[in-house]
């Protein structure tokens, strides 16, 4: 389930539209967290979601949240994410609400934790393959999955198997389902290698755990919960 867009004004990808409204300012660049994960795991999706710096041709990421970094070339989001301000193809990027590969990752978790019919490993591998297929690199899926760092840890405890499922789910959602990936981290605690923003407003207290309620919600809903003091307060279902 996704919303498709065109290059016509008023019907372009909303993230790209926002950047156009900021005079084509490229506020988004690759995070070192994501780039390092892809490089470490020989993941071909790095070339799907990112464009390497023209000056080096080699992918690199910015330290998380370091908006003051200067002079270091970093990868930019590819237009398939809708986040490349200076590539008009970003206007065509879809907004994905529920993907086939997300469904398979959910089934893998349900099979592992709740006995849903099917093999967690088979569903995990099918989810990764489906994600590769969606982005046109399906021929690389089997080689990727066969790597020791990616292969399903079937002989390990449930927690380790869940970690593999959610970590790969996060990698699959890069660029097009960012909020969902963040929610999965809050729900499960995986991936477990995130770093605090260099410019965090709450140094030493971890990562943002929620949004503030919008003023429209406060006005329209007299029964809303109290506004949190900071974005570091966790919602009730957040395990972190």
- Residue-wise pLDDT for 10-26, tens only, equals 899 999 999 999 999 89
- Residue bearing tokens 């990764």: 128
Specify whether domain 96-188 bears CATH 3.90.930.12: no
Task: Say what the pTM is.
Answer: 0.93
Query: 62 has which bridge partners?
Result: 31
Domain coordinates in residue numbering, the chain: 2-83, 96-188, 208-240
Side-chain-side CA neighbours of residue 139 (13 Å): 1
**Collapsing DSSP states into helix, strand and coil, what is residue 62?**
strand
- Residue-wise pLDDT for 197-229, tens only, equals 999 988 998 899 999 999 999 999 989 888 999
The answer to whether 205 and 211 are in contact (CB under 8 A) is: no
Above 90 in pLDDT, residue 41? yes
Cα separation, 23 vs 37, whole angstroms: 32
Q: What's the confidence (pLDDT) of residue 240? A: 64
Among 207, 166, 163, smallest CA distance to 31 is for: 207
- Residue-wise pLDDT for 111-147, tens only, equals 999 999 999 999 999 999 999 999 999 999 999 999 9
Question: In the chain, what percentage of residues exceed pLDDT 70?
Answer: 99
- Residue-wise pLDDT for 62-100, tens only, equals 999 998 888 889 999 999 999 999 999 999 999 999 999
């Amino acid at each position: 389930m996704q919303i498709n867009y065109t290059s016509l004004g008023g019907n372009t990808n909303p993230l790209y539209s926002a950047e156009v409204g900021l005079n084509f300012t490229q506020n988004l660049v690759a995070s070192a967290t994501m780039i390092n994960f892809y490089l470490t795991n020989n993941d071909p999706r790095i070339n799907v979601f990112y464009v390497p710096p023209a000056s080096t041709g080699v992918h690199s990421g910015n330290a998380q949240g370091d908006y003051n970094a200067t002079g270091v070339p970093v990868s930019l989001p590819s237009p398939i994410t809708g986040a490349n301000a200076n590539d008009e193809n970003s206007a065509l990027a879809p907004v994905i609400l529920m993907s086939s590969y997300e469904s398979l990752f959910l089934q893998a978790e349900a099979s592992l934790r709740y006995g849903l019919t099917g093999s967690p490993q088979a569903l995990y591998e099918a989810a990764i393959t489906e994600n590769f297929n969606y982005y046109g690199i399906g021929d690389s899926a089997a080689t990727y999955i066969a790597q020791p760092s990616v292969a399903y840890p079937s002989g390990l405890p449930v927690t380790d198997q869940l970690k593999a499922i959610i970590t790969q789910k996060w990698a699959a959602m890069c660029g097009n389902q960012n909020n969902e990936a963040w929610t999965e981290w809050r729900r499960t605690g995986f991936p477990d290698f995130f770093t605090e923003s260099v410019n965090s407003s709450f140094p030493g207290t971890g990562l943002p755990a929620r949004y503030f309620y919008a003023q429209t919600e406060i006005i329209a809903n007299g029964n809303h919960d109290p506004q949190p003091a900071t974005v570091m307060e966790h919602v009730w279902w957040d395990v972190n």
